[in-house]
Structure 1
Amino acid sequence: MKRILAGLALTTAAALVTAAPAHAAPADPVKALKKQFVAGKGVRIVETARLAVDGKKSSTSKSSGTFLFGKSGVVASDLKNQAPKAAAQVAPPRVITIGGHSYVQGGAFSQDLPEGKKWVRYPGVAAGATYSQMIDVFQPGVLKVLVAKAKSVKGGTYKGALTQDQLAAASHGQKLGGKLGKIEIEYALSVNSKGLVRELRSNWTMDFGVLGKYRSSTSTQYIGWGSKVTIKAPAEDLWIDAKDLGEDSEVPDQLAESSIGAITG
């Protein structure tokens, strides 16, 4: 009888295993991203960043815009920023980045420009960057590191932490070094069923001495993957190079590429 019962138990167990629904493996975010790199296609973002100094709320800034893809990644972006007056020189109201240049308009960037000029052009700013979000998920190498370093994966959300040096190595192949390089960035990367990024939340803390202890928290949402996108540079007669403005110009001579750059630059 014991043998019969044991046999029934094994048969029942096998039947339950066979009947159990199969769970598909999570989609690879890196592969999902690369599939989006199609000329003329892109994605929109909505971003909110909050900064606290010594535990007290200091400022909130918001950004929105569009990114245009090519065959190997982001080739252009068009972003609008709503930042506090204190950040006016590092968070321009409008930035179009294309062809290795950024065209900036509004606020401190539109003061006393030559007649007929509406934009100031700056060289060498990354098209995939936003003002506040330090992590560029449009870079496959960076996205790969975020997935690999996640300490937990639940409900399509990867949570983990990495240093500025680790982020710089994944992004540019080199480290920052010093105090900045040791800053730890905590992140929560949420993806949909196709592996495409829905939201990225990140935060970092650093003690700047007499300036206070800063804590930055940024949430970026990614909307409409695969949408048709068109981004063009302003007409040539409407912009002037920053280097041609002269020493007496009050327009910033360079752009900050991140929230840390805004504080330290």
Structure 2
Amino acid sequence: MKRIIAGLALASAAALVTAAPAQAAPVDPAKALKKQYVAGHGVRFAETSRTSVDGKSTGTAKSSGVLEFGKSGIVASDVRNRTAGKNADMFASLMPTRMITVGKHVYAQGGIYSDGLPEGKKWVRYPDTGMRMSNSSQLLDVFEPKVLKILVSHAKSTKGGVYRGSVTVKELGKIYDQPVDKKVAKIKVSYLLALNSAGLVTRVVSDWTLDFGVLGESRSTTETRFTGWGAKVKVKAPPADDVIDVADLTDGSAVPQDIPDGSLNSLGGVK
């Protein structure tokens, strides 16, 4: 009888092990991203950045466009920008209404970038400085595998493919290989990272606050959404006849000599 009971127990245990659902392996967003790097394909994005001082809105900047991939990452982009709110004019003076990055150049158009151009010229061409998303306000570059890794590993909450946590500007500086001024190094960037079932980013949100003392607390929140992973994308440069190099503009031109690079030190206006 004891042998029968023991045999039944073993059989039951075996059945339970067999019936238990297999645990899916953790999704690796860096590996999922790498698989998307196919020439002629890409992804669409839409981004909204909101700023406030002491809780009062100071402006909103919105961007949308397409990113084209090569075998090792983003090789081109076509992005449109617009601003609204109290400081819309100030933001507009720094941000082209449209930017195309392709080959070794960045092409800017609109606002101050179109003021006083020679007749027939509609675009200003700059050397490409490696801006992945053409003047994005998003501090968290999810096309950098090290960033994805730290967002997953630092998450305090992981539920339904959504990771929430925080990372310091100093930590981001190390990843981006950017020197960070001590005035902004300790800023904590709270984040939300959402992945789909394939491990691809569908949404990333960054939120940070800088205390200027008597000038108040400045807060910035940027939300970037990605759709259409793997879609066919082909970014083309503007017609050559419509373009002028920034170096060929006269000294009296109001067109900026550089496009803001979105460095980490720009958070608090630190130079």
TM-score, structure 2 normalization: 0.87
Structure 2 counterparts to residues 46-65 of structure 1, below 5 A: 46-65=46-65
Unmatched 5+ residue regions in structure 2? none
The letter for the 2-side match of 1:87 is F
Corresponding residue for 2:241?
237
The letter for the 2-side match of 1:45 is F
Structure 2 counterparts to residues 216-231 of structure 1, below 5 A: 216-231=220-235
**Percentage of pairs with the same residue:** 54
Counterpart CA distance in 2 for 1:218 and 1:70 is 26
Offset at residue 78 of structure 1 (A): 0.6
Unmatched 5+ residue regions in structure 1? none
Counterpart CA distance in 2 for 1:112 and 1:263 is 31
Counterpart CA distance in 2 for 1:68 and 1:158 is 26
Offset at residue 142 of structure 1 (A): 2.1
Contact 1:73 1:139 in 2 (8 A): no
> Is the counterpart of residue 134 in structure 1 residue 139 in structure 2?
yes
Corresponding residue for 2:151?
146
The letter for the 2-side match of 1:160 is G
Counterpart CA distance in 1 for 2:56 and 2:8 is 65
Contact 1:111 1:250 in 2 (8 A): yes
Offset at residue 226 of structure 1 (A): 0.6
Offset at residue 96 of structure 1 (A): 0.5
Structure 2 counterparts to residues 29-178 of structure 1, below 5 A: 29-83=29-83, 84-129=88-133, 130-171=135-176, 173-178=177-182
Counterpart CA distance in 2 for 1:6 and 1:151 is 44
Q: For residues 14 and 127 of structure 1, do their structure 2 counterparts lie closer, same or farther at Cα, with a shift above 3 Å needed?
A: same
Q: For residues 213 and 8 of structure 1, do their structure 2 counterparts lie closer, same or farther at Cα, with a shift above 3 Å needed?
A: same
The letter for the 1-side match of 2:140 is I
Corresponding residue for 2:259?
255
Counterpart CA distance in 2 for 1:85 and 1:51 is 14
Offset at residue 102 of structure 1 (A): 1.3
Q: Deviations over 1:99-134 (max 9, x none)?
A: 232110011111111111101122233342342111
Offset at residue 210 of structure 1 (A): 5.6
Counterpart CA distance in 1 for 2:78 and 2:202 is 19
The letter for the 2-side match of 1:23 is Q
Corresponding residue for 2:15?
15
User: Over the residues paired in the alignment, what is the CA RMSD in angstroms?
Assistant: 2.4
Q: State the 4+ residue runs in structure 1 displaced beyond 4 angstroms.
A: 1-14
State the SS of the aligned residue for 2:94. coil
Corresponding residue for 2:24?
24
State the SS of the aligned residue for 1:216. strand
Counterpart CA distance in 1 for 2:94 and 2:137 is 10
How many residues matched?
264
Worse overlay, 4-13 or 85-94: 4-13
Contact 1:77 1:231 in 2 (8 A): yes
Counterpart CA distance in 1 for 2:250 and 2:184 is 32
Corresponding residue for 1:181?
185
TM-score, structure 1 normalization: 0.89
Contact 1:45 1:66 in 2 (8 A): yes
State the SS of the aligned residue for 1:185. strand
